[in-house]
Structures are given as C-alpha cells and as structure tokens.
Chain A
Amino acid sequence: MNSYLIRMTVPWLCPFLLVMSIWILLRGHNAPGGGFIGGLVAAAAIAFWCFARGVEDAKRWMRVSPLHLMIAGVSTALISGLMPMFAGKPMLTALWHKVEVPLLGKLPLGTPILFDIGVFFAVVGVTTSILFSLEEFELWNRSGPS
C-alpha cells in the first residue's frame, strides 16, 4: 500500500495483536476465545501486515512457512489426541495434570489445552497460507500477461 501511515503503523500493531491472540487462545477454556478465535485473530494480524506491506514482507516477518505451521498444528492436535491411547484409554480422552505455576497458583494442564494450541497453529497456518497463495496469484495476475 502506498499509505505511509499504514505502513508504519502495522509493525507496531501486529505484534500487539499476536500477543492478544495468544491471550485469547490461552484463556479460551474459561472465557470467550480458544484456538479458533485466537488463531483467526493472529491470522488477521498477519493479514494486516500482508495488506499493508506486501506478501513477501509478511512472509519474511512470519519467518515460519504457513504450510509448516499448519502441518505442525494438526500434528500437535493429533498427538494430544493420541496420547491417551498409550495410557490405554480411548483416543482423545482428556488427561489432566495440576501444575503449580508460580504466580497463578495451581492450574490444570491437560491434553485439551495442547489440542487447542494445535488448533490455533492450524488455523493460523491455514488462513495465512490461503491468503498468501491468493495474494501471490493476484500479484502475478496484475503484473503478468493476461
């Protein structure tokens, strides 16, 4: 985009949004949010970057390839689902473990949380991947011969 203002705002805005998305993800079990919403917000942040500064720049900023991100996300969710099978329980049975966290006190940590994290990454990866693919195609459409 040609707007200088927007180009300069985005690097400040996006990291903030990413942090927010992670917050939405983590509190999702107890308040509105969760993997889907968190992932979508994170993807929106990246979409901002992409719109404002171009696909290539957004890719560089992301560092990780969206394809890898989504594969990793699905794999994480899958692994969290498979874990109980090794404990002899049906797949996707939640395994909970109360963990002492310094500031927050006792927190239940379990495979559903891991599952949600997997969903988060999958959603981020998928959305950005789709966006990037279409953007690139569109860029080529615009520049290349019809």
Chain B
Amino acid sequence: MALPLIVVVGLLLSCLAPTLGRLLGQKVAPLLALFPAAVCLWLCATVLPNLDTPLLFEAPWIPSLNMSYAFHLDGLSALFMLFISAIGTFIFMYAGGYLGNHPQLGRLFAFLLLFFSAMLGLVIADDLILLFIFWELTSISSFFLIGFKHESEEARRSALQALLVTGAGGLALLAGLILLGDIGGTYRVSELLLRGDTFIRHPLSDAALLLILAGAFTKSAQFPFHFWLPGAMVAPTPISAFLHSATMVKAGIFLLARLHPLLSDHLWWTPLVAGAGAITMTYGALRSPWERDLKTILAYATVSVLGMLTMLLGLGVDKAIPAFVAVILAHAFYKASLFMVAGILDHQCGTRNIDELRGLRSALPITSVAAGLAAVSMMGIPPLFGFIAKEKLIEAALKAEWYGMLMIAAVFVSAACLTVSAWQVGFRPFRGTPKPTPKQAKEGGPLLWAGPLFFAILPVPLGLLVSFWSGPFFSAAVGAIQGQNLEMTVKLWYGFNLALLMSFLILGAGVGLTLKRDKITAYLKRTVYAKWPAAFHGAAVFQFGLKQAFALANAQTRILFQDALRHNLTFIMVVFLGLGFTILKITNVAWPFNPVPLDNPPLFELMIGLVIVAAIAAAIRAQSMVVAAACLGVVGFAVSCFFMIHGAIDLAITQLVIETLTVLLFVLVVHRFPDFNTKESELRRRFDALLAAASGAFMTLLIWKADLIQLQDPISGYFAENSMTKGYGQNVVNVILVDFRALDTLGEIVVLLIAALGVYSLTRQKLKKAKKATEGGAA
C-alpha cells in the first residue's frame, strides 16, 4: 500500500504547491522538502534492511487488457529511489534558496513534485503501461521546468526540443512496450522478465528491441539524440541539477537496467547498447572540458556519464553490472553537488563563465569546500566513492569481449577528459587572485550550500566504509539487473592490479590535459569547432527537420485545402466515382444488361422524360438567370407529372407547389446577381463534362441494376393492409405520414421551423445592421 501512496501523495502535494507557494513564499521549500526526506528515511529505515523480499502492490485496472495498478520495489528500484529522494530533499531546499521569493515558486514546486512523484512511480511500476505513464509524466514536467523562464525564447525553444525528442522517443517506447507485452503475454514487468526465451525467439523481438532502445536513448540523451540536454540547461540550476543530471536522464538507463534480464540476450543488444553508450561517453567527454559555461561543461559531462552507464549495461560481462551500480551512485552525488555549486556561483556572482570566475575561495568558503570534494570524487581519487566507481568501470572495460581494446581506449579517454572537467568546475573558479564579478560574491544562506556540501561529503564515508554497507545493497541491485539472486560485496582496496594502474594512468593523463587545457581549447576553437560539420549539431539538424515539417504542412494545406468550393467538389466527386467504378469492377457487374420489354407504349412517359432532358439542356445553355429558372420550373412540373402517373398524387401536388415556390424564391434572390456567365477555360469545362457524364452513367447503372434485385417484398404490404383497419385512412401515403412514420414528419416540420427561423434571423440581422449603418451615417 505504501508504494502507490507515495506517488499519490506526491501528486496531491503537487496540486497544492501553487497555493502553498503563494501563501508561504520561500518557506514552502523546506516544508515541501519534508516529503522527499520522509520517503528517503522510510526507504532507509524499512526497505533497505529487507531488500531480499521485494515490496509488492497490485490492484485491478483494465483486466481485459492485462493492465493493472502493479507496483514492485526491488533492489534496482531501491537504488534509484534512494538517490532520487535524497537528491530531491536537498534540491527542494536549494530551489527555495536559489529562487528566493520568485512569484512562480509555487508553480515550480508543483512541477518539481509532479516530476518527483512520476520518477518514483517510474522506478517502482510493475506494469508496462503504468511505467510508460510515469515516463511521459517526467517528460512533460521536464518540459514545463525547462521552460520555467518562459518569456525567453531560448527557454521555450529548448523546452520544445526536449519535449519533442523525448516525446517522440516515448511514443516509440510505447509501441515497443506494447509489442513486448504482446510477445510476452503479460504486461507485468516482473513476470515478463522470466520469459526471456520466448522473447528472443519471437519474430517481432527485433522491432520491440529497437523501439525500446529508441525510447531509452532519447530519454537518456544518447548520441545522436544528446543535443536536447545541453539545451535544457537554460532552466534554473536546481532543475538542471535534479532533472537533467541526476534523475530524469537516468530514466532511460533505468529502463534498460530494468529490462536487462529480458533483452540482454538479444543478438543486437550488445552492439547497439554498448556501441551507442561508448560513442556517447567519448563524445560527451571530448566536448565537455573545453566549454566556457559551467553548466554546459557539466551537461556534456553528464552526457558522457550517461553513455558510460549505457555502455556498462550493454557490455554483457559480469563485472559491468556492479560497475554500473557504483557509477550511477557516485555520479548522482557528485554531479548533484557540482551542479548546485555551479548554481551558487551563478547566483552569487552573476555569471557562469569560467573565465570570469577567479579566486572565489575566500568569498565562498563553504562552497569551495563542497566543490573541491565533489570534484575529487568525480576525478576518482581514493578513498572517495568515485574512486571505487572508476575502478569498477575499468575492470568491466578490461573484461569486455566486444571490441575490447576500443572499449578500454574509450574509457581511458573519457575518464581523462572528465578529470579536466572536474578541475574546471570544482577548482578553477576558486583558485588564484580574485577577479571582480558582475555581482559582489558572498556566501548564500544554508538553503543554498547545505545540499552541495552534503553530497560532497557523503562520498567520503561511502567510500571509506564501502565494505560495510555495500553487501546487501549491491547484491540486491545487481541481482535485480541480472535477473538472478547473488551475493557480493564491494571493497575499497583490491590490492595492486591492472585496474588500479589504469586508474592512476588516467589520473595522470587528466592532470596532463588539465595543465594544457588552455592551449587545447584555443587549438580546438581554431580547428574543430570552426569547421564542425553542421550535421554534427544535433540541434541544428532537429531545427532543420522541424522547419521542413512546417514547410511540408504548409504546402499540403495550400494544395489540398483549396478555397474554391468547386475544386473541393471536384475532388470529392473524383474520389467517389473512382471508388464506385472500382467497386463495380471488383464485384463484376454483368454486362450487358438484360433488355427490358417496353410494355404498353408509354407515350406520356416518354414525353415527360424528353421534356425533362430538353429543359435541363436548356438550363445548362441558358444565358440568363430567368431562363434558367423557367427551365427549372419546367423540370419541376415534369417531375411532378412523373410522380402523378406513377400513382403518387400527393407527391405530385407537393412537388408542384414546392417547385413553384422554389423557383419564385430563386428568382427573388438571384435576380440581382450579375455576370451569369463567368468565363471558364475550355479544358475545365471538358473535364467537368466528363465528370458529370461519369457520375450520370454511374447512377444510371445502379438504378438499372437495382431494378433487377428485389430481396423481398417491401414492407409496404403491411401499410396496405393496416392503413384502413388500424389507421382509419384511405390515403395510405397520408396515413404513413401522420401515423406509421409520424416521427419522420415531426422531424420534418422541425426542420422547416428551423429553416424559417434561420431565414428570419438572417434577414433581420442584415436589415438591422443596415439600419444601424444608415442611422450612424445620418448621425
């Protein structure tokens, strides 16, 4: 019960947040931070000690579609939940300090809480569709959070970009999940994971895998979908720190980890996942250190680590999964801390450009400590937890079977570059002689520095005491990812081995790069960045694609949705007739027709028919409206005669009166219209004539053949029998109208009533307007 409750409470709080924000101002931050704190404490107190028995919850939802409200908390969920709620607690407080009394603070918290609950829901969902719902909720809340400074166009553009990339990926994911559910025959994740064999053999498994990977890669900013992430840095720093480095971007990673037991045996898993991960890792690391904006540096570093995590999941070696768990934890803590530091610098100094930030150690002492510690963890220097993560990573890379040397090289380069990034963010702004900044720098309140400090210090005990706490925790998490029960512990010190050597080599390379960083930057600016092919800027490609889509839409609308009514009509008729003749062709109407005997020389009928045809011809050729109207009158009279001789006397009379009234009204209205004969092109006229002939032929054909089919006696026999006995009327037509089918007649007079009302109101409207105009003109 606790599992859905957490999510629901979070959502409720999210609804309340705007009001609370308005009432309490800045104080809302620590108040709302109690929620993630409570979640974190609950987790530590009750869940972590009993990780070997997963928590379950299930309630019916849509049974016929196998959908249920199922939640499931195992080691993997616990891992994610732990750092989400821990970071959440401090981010909430930090956001209060960062934004102060911003008028939209309440709304920010609404979206933050929405995101937080969705993220928790995502990691504990045990139903594929439920999982997807939370997935999309994180995307949409990210959209609103990136667009927090919504009056700047850049923010709006980045928000849309992030939403579209993750949203499109999300839809692919949805298709993938549905396929997965259909293949596995269940939508319960925990049951599905046991059916890896059926999955691999299923013909649709390739499609499912690709779709799921598309979703995961877009969400986790894997190359080539990474570009939205640096763009998302326009958001206020608490948001970037929480969503775009520590938690949301890991949703894709989580998904891969969650489905790892099911998907990892697939033939394409390793090449796709490890490959994409390695490329992303290297790319991010290569981009990161040379940027000038603190947040951009961190963003590319995040991209790199996300690639690293993906690669670890894809490698398919035993050592990779513990490395994955270690890296994800280490990264969450140091990156959150560094991001918050970047935010403090921005907030207190007014700039994020590292060239303008110098010697801030004395102005911001606490921040500098936090930054330094976090950077050390990021560099992977013992005994911090970052060191353990890096060592595990190297171990896994050393074990990689798949393009082993390439993987090691990638890890080496990335880790070295990340060392530089860590230096640039964690040390550089605080060293040297102070430089004046746009704002006079001074330490902010505890709301600001508590978070970074906490997360900077945390890796120290985590690293030192790793062998004490890691046993059950790592066993549960790694076991959940690998889909088996296992026992393992992590130690700080494994003795001198290859991994340790590598680790130090990397550190050395990092130091070397750090020393030469300015030269490299200058070189890169001159060469690579200047000539960077446009296709490598994902954002540019994305914007280009978007523009093309708009152009396509415009062109389509211009061509298809013509203003002129007759073009529309032509299109409709062409399609209609096309379908009609196709159907006739398919159903093989027998040609030629059976000759029909002409009984009883129908002189009168022939005459009526000829009059109709002649009058129509005259109407088409008529040069003036009155002639056309008169011809119409003749057609009407002739039709009336047609009705009369075929026994429809009521009908004939009605037709006469109505036709006369129609013609009179027609003349009344139309006689003012000028230019009866607008010029038309010959081609157009011929085409229309052809169309008209085709439709006429189609109708003729149908009626002619319809005459030959009579499935049963018409129901009129009943009317003939009962109209006198039960309806007390000799005129069967009238009895049908007022008794058998009186509802039709009622509807019909309602139509008439409305038409008359319409005519009345329309003419009255015009008359009044005109009157007003003349009065206005007079006055």
Q: Do A and B touch directly, given a CB cutoff of 8 Å in the complex?
A: yes
C-alpha spacing A124/B734, complex, angstroms: 18
- CA gap between A39 and B738 in the complex, in Å: 14
Q: How large is the interface on B (under 10, 10 to 19, 20 to 34, 35 or more residues)?
A: 35 or more
> Is the C-beta of B739 less than 8 angstroms from some C-beta in chain A?
yes
Chain A residues with CB below 8 A from B210, complex form: none
Q: Which of B743, B749, B759, B763 has the most chain A CB within a 10 Å cutoff? A: B749
Question: In chain A, what residue has the closest Cβ to B664?
Answer: A47
| Nearest-neighbor residue (CB-CB) of B650 within chain A | A32
CA distance A123 to B729 in the complex (A): 21
B-side interface mostly: helix
Flag if A137 contacts B729 (CB, 8 Å): no
Flag whether B658 is at the interface (Cβ < 8 A): yes
Does the CB pair A33–B750 fall under 8 Å?
no
Q: How distant is the Cα of A29 from the Cα of B735 in the complex, in angstroms?
A: 6
Q: Which of A22-76 contact B (CB under 8 A)?
A: 28-37, 40-41, 43-44, 47, 66-67, 70-71, 73-74
Q: Which residues of A lie under 8 Å from residue B728 when comparing CB positions?
A: 29, 96, 108, 110
CB-based nearest B residue for A135: B668
Among B653, B669, B738, B766, max chain A CB count under 10 A is at: B738
Knowing A74-B750, A125-B756 touch, does A34 contact B665 (C-beta < 8 A)? Answer: no
Q: Which residue of chain A has its CB nearest to the CB of B649?
A: A32
Instruction: Verify if B572 is at the interface (C-beta below 8 Å from A).
Output: no
- Measured CA separation A113–B746 after assembly (Å): 14
Smallest Cβ-Cβ distance to B656: which chain A residue: A40
Interchain pairs with CB closer than 8 A, number: 148
A78 contacts B by Cβ under 8 Å: yes
Residue with the highest number of chain B CB atoms closer than 10 Å, among A29, A30, A129, A135:
A29
Q: Does B672 contact A (CB under 8 A)?
A: yes
Nearest CB of chain B from residue A121's CB, rounded to whole Å: 9
The closest CB in chain A to the CB of B658 belongs to A40
Q: Which of A30, A136, A138 contacts B731 (CB 8 A)?
A: A30
| CB pair B729 A130 closer than 8 Å | no
Measured as residues with beta carbon below 8 angstroms from the partner, the interface class of chain A is 35 or more
CB contact list, B666-725 vs A, under 8 A: 668-669, 672
* Assembled-state Cα–Cα distance A62/B615 (Å): 37
Chain B residues positioned under 8 Å from A10 (CB to CB):
none
> How long is the Cα–Cα vector from A94 to B728 in the complex, in angstroms?
10
State the Cβ distance, A80 to closest chain B Cβ, in Å: 9
The 3 A-B residue pairs whose C-beta atoms are closest, nearest first, are A29-B729, A40-B657, A30-B730
Q: List 28 A-B contacts (CB under 8 A).
A: A30-B729, A30-B731, A32-B653, A33-B734, A34-B650, A35-B738, A36-B650, A37-B653, A37-B654, A40-B657, A43-B657, A70-B756, A77-B746, A81-B742, A91-B743, A108-B728, A115-B738, A119-B745, A122-B752, A122-B753, A126-B753, A129-B759, A130-B759, A133-B762, A133-B764, A137-B767, A140-B767, A140-B770
Taking Cβ atoms with an 8 Å cutoff, the residues of A that contact B are 28-37, 40-41, 43-44, 47, 66-67, 70-71, 73-74, 77-78, 81, 91-92, 94, 96, 108, 110, 112-113, 115-116, 118-119, 122-123, 125-127, 129-131, 133-138, 140-141, 144-145
